[in-house]
Amino acid sequence: MDFSRLLPLLIFALAAAAHAAEARQPNVLFIIADDMRNDAACFGNPAVKTPALDRLAGRGVAFQRAYCQIAWCNPSRVSFLAGLRPDTTRVFDLGTRPDAFLGDRAAFLPQHFKANGYWTARVGKIYHESPGQGKWPDDPRSWDVSDGGHGAWPKTIDKTKIIHGRGTRGDFVTYTSFDVPEETTPEFKTGTRGVELLERGAKADKPFFVAVGFHKPQLPWMAPKKYFDLYDPAKIALTPEPPIAEQRIPAAAGVGNPAQPPVSDADR
C-alpha cells in the first residue's frame, strides 16, 4: 500500500477532527448568589419558591452534595475558583487578594477559560470585591469584559427589622421589604446586563464563559414586597436545632453577645 497517498487524507481527517472538537466546546454560563444556602425547591425544600432555579436545575446537573470549603466570602470564592483548599490558598479574610500567595502557580476558573480560547465576561460579584484587593476583579488574565454591577439598593428604608439575640452579631442581622419597581433594583439590572453579555458572547467568533454574580441574599435581607407576600410565616417550618448544639461550639467560635437570650422562633 502506498502510504504517501494516505498522508494528505490523514492530515485532512485530523484537521477535521480538531475542528469538530473545537466546535463542540460548550458555551458556559456561571451564576453565583452571595451567601445563599441550599434551601431551594430543587434541593429538596418545597416550601421555598424558586421556579427559575428549578427550571435551570432541571435542564442541567444539580449537585446535591456540594459543600462550602470555608464560611467566609473571599476565602470561599478563592477556594472554588482556584480549585484549591483554603489552607493552600492561604486566604482566610476579606481583604487578601486571591493571588496574594498563589501568584501564577494556579489558574483561576475564568483565567483557565480565557487561556483556552474562550471569550470571558462578568457582571456583579464573582471574585470577592472589597477594599485592599486593588484591580483584581478587572484582571486582564480573567476577563475580556468586566462589569462590577449596576445601581444601589434604596437608601431610606422604613421599618427595617433588626433581629436581636444570641447566635447573631448584634444588630447585624436585618431584613426589610420595600415597594419599588423591581426593574430599579441592582439585582434586576445585573441580570439584565448578564443577558446582554450572553447575547454579545453568542456573536463572538469563539465560545464564551459568562459569569453573573448576584449580591443577594447577602445581608441585609432586602427584597421587593411582592416576594415577602409569597410566604405565610405561620406555614414556615423552622429547622430544628438540638439544644446541645450551642454547648459544643467553642466560645472563640461564637458570634454576638452570649448574654443575650436566644433568637425567638418568631424572629427565626
Query: In a 10 Å sphere around its CB, with 0-12 CB exposed, 13-18 middle and 19+ buried, how is residue 94 labelled?
Result: middle
Residue 258 backbone phi and psi in degrees, to 5: -60, -20
**SS3 label, residue 44:** coil
Residue 73 bears catalytic tag: yes
Report the greatest alpha carbon distance in the chain.
Answer: 90
Catalytic residue among 112, 128, 150, 215: 128
Give the C-alpha separation, 147 to 54, whole Å: 27
Backbone angles phi, psi at 204, to 5 degrees: -75, 160
Bridge pairing between strands 161-162 and 174-178: antiparallel
List C-alpha distances in Å: 223 to 45, 186, 230, 235: 20, 11, 12, 20
Q: Is 162 strand, coil or helix?
A: strand
Q: In one letter, which amino acid is 120?
A: T
Handedness of CA 52, 203, 61, 138 (dihedral sign): negative
Active-site entry in 19, 42, 68, 73: 73
What residues are annotated to the active site?
A: 73, 128
